[in-house]
Structure 1
Amino acid sequence: MQTLKRLKTFVCFFLILALMVPATQAKAFIFSEFTITDEAELGTKVHSLIRSNYHVVQDPEITSYIQDIASRLEKAAPPQPFPLQVDVVEDRSLNAMATVAGYMVLFSGMITRMETESELASIMSHELGHITQRHVARNIERSQKISAGALLGILAGALVGAEAGETMAVGSMAGAQSAFLSYSREDEREADHVGMNYLIEAGYNPKGMVSAMQKIRRLQFFSGGDIPSYMSTHPGVDERISYLRNRIERLDDELLKREDDNTRLYRVQTLLRARHDDPSKALEHFRKQSEHECLANLGMGIANSRMNRVRDAEQNFEKLLSISDQDPLFLREAGRFYFQYDRLDKAGELLQKAAMLNPDDSLALLFYARVLAEKGDTDTAISYFRETLKKMPENSRVHEFMARTYGEQGDNFMAHTHMAYAHIYNNQRSRADFHMDRVRAAAQTAEQEKKVKELEKAYEQRVQFWKKTS
């Protein structure tokens, strides 16, 4: 009921937003031709919309892997006006979609259900096909008369449909309230065709696209509403699978012998299941995972920790580190566990080592900074928080930890500044307003006034997507 209530509130909000665009203002946004500038502006808003209403995964172990696949596919495609950017949303729905301006969204359920990297890459290559062929942009151009506010409202309706379990089409905008955002059968087939070209050019086994589509169709019998409605209601799916099979039969046998290195996929799936699925179900899954002992212990350690089964979790992490004490991911997760239970010396040792072995792991650096802050070394902690923010500028928790550390130093201006950012990126309007008032009151220097303007800009980018009750 809470999900349904939130859905209704959210949809009503965006309908009001669309209707509130004045006629005189709407004319300025009517897309007789949907230009690259128009697409860039809308893309920024869609990006903010997604991040304002979904939990976007910010674990660099996960995001770097997905972005590496995206970059590999992007190199296989023709040059595009926008770089390909992928957000991973924490949601068990078997879903993926392309939006505008190079933005793509993968739901975590899609990642955990794929068996090979080629299957996952095939989903992304299909989405990339929609992007490179500008299917959404062309449909917007055909609409001729639609305001930016109304368009954003329709996109919002499509996105919240996925949240409510009425998941959208794989690569489509099914569930949107207007036909001009729906992909035609020709669009889907074209995305299949060019997507397979990108998949092959990127070095993947093209059979991954067929097996991924078959897997999604098969899962509909077991998952009910937890799969895209597209796979059961959109006409021509079997025809498309048959078309792809025929293409594959004509390919060089060497292409079909390509093997996947699924090492990183399994690591990412372990993290997504352990951190974001129901912990008891995740624990049951990892107990059966005998072929990957390290990942099984990693997953069980995280799941047991989430269930406050401290002794079991510690045993899992001790066994994990006894097998491999040089893997930065294993060190990071063990360090997080020990930090959670106030074993600061042990946590600091593991997290420092993890950060040294993998300098790109902003989470390892974040938790090491927290250890230092707890030990009273606030200056060093703040320097590491700053480094973390360079890689995760919209992470509300980093801003909150910085705010508390500045507060311990007595720097009220910076404390309120980062607490305001924390609430902005956590979609808490009233609390953000409170701290922004304190920031404005405390600003005295030109540099502080500059920080106020930067804060206000971040606020304005997000506030338009918040519910009135936030």
Structure 2
Amino acid sequence: MMQSMRRSRLLAPFTLMLCWVLAFPPAAFGFFGSLTIEKEKQIGEEFCLQLQQYYPVVRDPFLASYINAVGQKLVQQLGSQPFQFRFFIIEDPSYNAFAVPGGYVFVNTGLIRIMEREDELAGVLAHEITHIHQRHMAKRMDKAKFGNIAALVGGLAAVLLGGAAAAPILAGTMAGAETAMLKYSRDDEREADTLGFKWATKAGYDPRYMMSVFRKMARQRWFEGSDIPVYLKTHPELESRIVDLSHLYATYELNHQERPINPAFTYFRQRMEALYGNPQRMKRELLIRLSHEPDNVPYRYSLALIYKRLGDRSKAAEAYQQALNRDPYNDMIKRDLAIFYYESNRPQEAQTLFKELLQRNSRDEVSLYYLGLILQDRRQVDEALPLFEKLHGINPAFTEVYYNLGALYGEKQRLGPAHYYLGLHSRMAKDLPTALFHFRKALTYLGAQEKYHDEAQAEVFRLERMRVRVSN
């Protein structure tokens, strides 16, 4: 009950924004005729924009980088794609994951917390990626022939966020019969399972764990009574699909040998718990566990994060060092220690560690970001800018970089991209009037053929449709 109330409060302003959009005639959206790939991208962008205004999306660099890495590893198995896939974590305790046309995949923290290994996360992501790849939702939207994008975004929210929880969005947007047309069919789910199984296997994951995470969700229904996990509502007939997957697994000649858990996933889970769980409770639990397992490195790492979150920096530094002493070649701990040095005004020590990490992995998103910050702090614009641009190219969902790119382009007097990125930053900060100001300014500096022009124009169009006004 409390969970539904929480969602309703979050969705109320979401509904208001959709109603603003509805004030415009359908022709304003150009949403007639067959649903093209470009229109599909537009719908995904609209949904993502609205969702991120009112749902708490996890911004932690390591967590955002990790889920993107797993997702992109799976996407690589598909071959050439018309979409640029983006992966997000939503801070919400419910068991849910969903895909939006145009390449957007979302997973709730609640679902991740019941996972025990990366293979389970890969199984869920592979299933959602397949829904996009096979254009399941897009085909259903095309058949439904919605009058405008606002109604469609409302319908998507109602279906993907889970029935009653999204009821406020339905007010004034669409009829129940139209909503029903958006729900995945049994054939859609079977295809997403079968092809997701294939992508996960090709990427080197054990597909049995796609079944294991589904079983966990199915079991949870018995513990929660009538409060059925959202994923079971939006992806129905889970039990029969588990049987189908079991039969599919039996047809593959796979190595049944149990593989060790990827250490990166252990740290991913530990970090999520430390940053978004109850810190005092976790501190007590970790101290008890460490009294029995003093050499457990992930526990030491988590304790350092907890002390840091609680503001006890001396104990945090001690815990980091104890963890690193027990595992001196652990890059994840080194990266966190480097961040700790940066935040403790010890930039030279931080820079040394970040450079060492990037020598081993030049696509380390977190190290690129923080090394860029250090160089930006020193006003080394020409060195910092390519690091942030590289990061943005690797992971467009790494939104923390927007402000830095805007500021650095401003330093170089490249005002078109400067205003464009500052607009993106303001939009993510929910300051829509300032975002509209920057996007309009970007267009005054960008030629029609220049990079960012079309994106800035689209942002202006969206915000003006929402009746956003720039203060004088």
Which category describes the TM-score, using the shorter chain as reference length? 0.7 to 0.9
Q: Is the 1:7–1:160 contact (alpha carbons within 8 Å) kept by the matching residues of 2?
A: no
The CA deviation string for residues 128-186 of structure 1, in whole angstroms up to 9 with x for no partner, is: 332343221221122134323321232244566699699xxxxxxxx997111111233
Aligned residue for 1:10?
14
CA distance in 2, matches of 1:238, 1:391: 41
Aligned residue for 1:129?
130
Q: Give the deviation of 1:260 after TM superposition.
A: 5.3
CA distance in 2, matches of 1:213, 1:251: 20
Q: Is the 2:13–2:54 contact (alpha carbons within 8 Å) kept by the matching residues of 1?
A: no
Q: Give the deviation of 1:315 after TM superposition.
A: 1.2
Q: Is the 1:189–1:240 contact (alpha carbons within 8 Å) kept by the matching residues of 2?
A: yes
Secondary structure of 1:256's counterpart equals coil
TM-score (normalised: structure 2): 0.76
Q: Is the 1:154–1:176 contact (alpha carbons within 8 Å) kept by the matching residues of 2?
A: no
The CA deviation string for residues 297-323 of structure 1, in whole angstroms up to 9 with x for no partner, is: 222111211111222211111212323
Q: Superposition pairs for residues 135-154 of structure 1, below 5 Å?
A: 135-154=136-155
Q: Is the 1:335–1:350 contact (alpha carbons within 8 Å) kept by the matching residues of 2?
A: yes
Structure 2 spans left out of the alignment, 5+ residues: 168-175
CA distance in 2, matches of 1:138, 1:402: 37
Aligned residue for 1:169?
none
**Is 1:300 the equivalent of 2:307?**
no
Secondary structure of 1:104's counterpart equals strand
Aligned residue for 1:39?
40
% identical equivalent positions:
26
Q: Superposition pairs for residues 47-196 of structure 1, below 5 Å?
A: 47-57=48-58, 61-74=62-75, 76-77=77-78, 80-82=81-83, 84-158=85-159, 178-196=179-197
Q: Give the deviation of 1:84 after TM superposition.
A: 4.2
CA distance in 2, matches of 1:270, 1:165: 31
Q: Is the 1:11–1:156 contact (alpha carbons within 8 Å) kept by the matching residues of 2?
A: no
CA distance in 1, matches of 2:439, 2:27: 32
Aligned residue for 1:384?
384
Aligned residue for 1:367?
370
The CA deviation string for residues 73-105 of structure 1, in whole angstroms up to 9 with x for no partner, is: 445557654354433334343221122133322
Q: Give the deviation of 1:406 after TM superposition.
A: 9.1
**Relative to 1, partners in 2 of residues 1:66 and 1:371: Cα closer, same or farther, differing over 3 Å?**
closer
Q: CA RMSD for the aligned pairs?
A: 4.4
Q: Is the 2:422–2:438 contact (alpha carbons within 8 Å) kept by the matching residues of 1?
A: yes
Q: Is the 1:98–1:130 contact (alpha carbons within 8 Å) kept by the matching residues of 2?
A: yes
Q: Superposition pairs for residues 66-465 of structure 1, below 5 Å?
A: 66-74=67-75, 76-77=77-78, 80-82=81-83, 84-158=85-159, 178-221=179-222, 228-231=229-232, 236-248=237-249, 250-251=250-251, 254-257=254-257, 259=259, 261-284=261-284, 286-287=286-287, 288=289, 290=293, 293-371=296-374, 377-378=378-379, 380=380, 383-392=383-392, 397-400=400-403, 417=419, 420-432=423-435, 456-457=456-457, 459-460=459-460, 463=463
CA distance in 1, matches of 2:309, 2:244: 46
**Relative to 1, partners in 2 of residues 1:335 and 1:454: Cα closer, same or farther, differing over 3 Å?**
farther
The CA deviation string for residues 386-426 of structure 1, in whole angstroms up to 9 with x for no partner, is: 5224423676654545777899x898979984655532332
**Relative to 1, partners in 2 of residues 1:163 and 1:263: Cα closer, same or farther, differing over 3 Å?**
farther
The CA deviation string for residues 7-61 of structure 1, in whole angstroms up to 9 with x for no partner, is: 21211321342x32315446x4124x32333323323333434444445445565
CA distance in 1, matches of 2:406, 2:138: 41
Across the two proteins, how many residue pairs are aligned to each other? 450
CA distance in 2, matches of 1:200, 1:161: 29
**Relative to 1, partners in 2 of residues 1:77 and 1:362: Cα closer, same or farther, differing over 3 Å?**
closer
Q: Is the 1:88–1:107 contact (alpha carbons within 8 Å) kept by the matching residues of 2?
A: yes
Structure 1 spans left out of the alignment, 5+ residues: 167-174
Q: Give the deviation of 1:110 after TM superposition.
A: 2.6
